[in-house]
Amino acid sequence: MSRAPNTWIITAQCPSRIGTVDVVTRYLRESECYITELNSFDDHETGQFYIRAEFRPGDGFDGGDFRDGFQPRAAGFDMQFDLTPPDYRPPVVIMVSKSDHCLNDLLYRHRIGQLNMDIRAVISNHPDLRELTEWHGIPYHHLPVSAETREQQEAQVWDVIQETGAELVILARYMQVLSPALCTRLEGWAINIHHSLLPGFKGARPYHQAYRKGVKLVGATAHYINNDLDEGPIITQGVEPVNHADYPEDLIAKGRDIECITLARAVGHHLERRVFLYAGRTVVFQP
């Protein structure tokens, strides 16, 4: 991703008021911090303000002192803020089924340092991707599930998430519908990826359905999960044109590529604190 090396990130959100940009940038200036990237947005429909700044601190910078000093200024604006150091790698759990393309892509980007995270575990309802996962030195939890065992299996899933201290769960083509109870627990910090076709083809073999209708675009959507199946707050979307010469196998192949890229971008935006959630909607500051 685009984050400059050795930079900190401050993100903040508050009701819209005069001086919201100034309170952040002025404090950075007074703290002798050089801003390398700055994004802000005022949503006139919700009356909410959002700001994200990457900055390079001066000599002797202390994150704890910075937080303590900014807290009373933020309180004056009812501002909630977060400070992220450059070496912070959030603990992550990935959930998969049998398809390996998204998992393989995430593992590769993690291995080369493109996604700054600590993958603590991979959970799957099938044994197929154990070898790939363990080759990367990551624990693999095979937790089979059926209609009769769903409650027990989800309890095991939740145990792994808690034991690893995960701050982000990535559903990298996990082909099971999560229960409302687990969706509620993961709401706002679990990212899902799925195909995005127009019109929407639901059920089995969606790309074959799309082929028969002669679609001209295939795509993918990455979003935070909630209790509305595949309708959570959207982080990223990707599309690619196709035509009459693309058979179902071609559509599937292009769909896999788009899913990988779209999911990786969504995860990257989340890790870089570029995504804000409010009232079921996202604000995403693109790099």
* DSSP one-letter string for 219-268: EEEEEE--SSTT-SPEEEEEEEE--TT--HHHHHHHHHHHHHHHHHHHHH
- The token pair at 47 is 């009356």
Where is 160: in which H helix or E strand? helix 150-164
Catalytic residue, chosen from 42, 43, 128, 230, is: 230
Cis amide bond preceding 199, omega within 30:
yes
What order of strands is seen across the sheet that includes strand 8-15?
34-43, 48-56, 8-15, 80-84
* Distances from the Cα of 277 to the Cα of 12, 201, 260, angstroms: 12, 28, 23
β-strand partners of 39: 52
Half-sphere exposure in the Cβ direction for 4 (13 Å, CA): 13
With beta carbons less than 8 A apart as the criterion, state whether 273 and 9 touch. Answer: yes
- The residue count of the chain comes to 287
- The token pair at 188 is 């706002």
Q: Does the annotation mark 82 as catalytic?
A: no
By annotation, the residues acting in catalysis are: 230
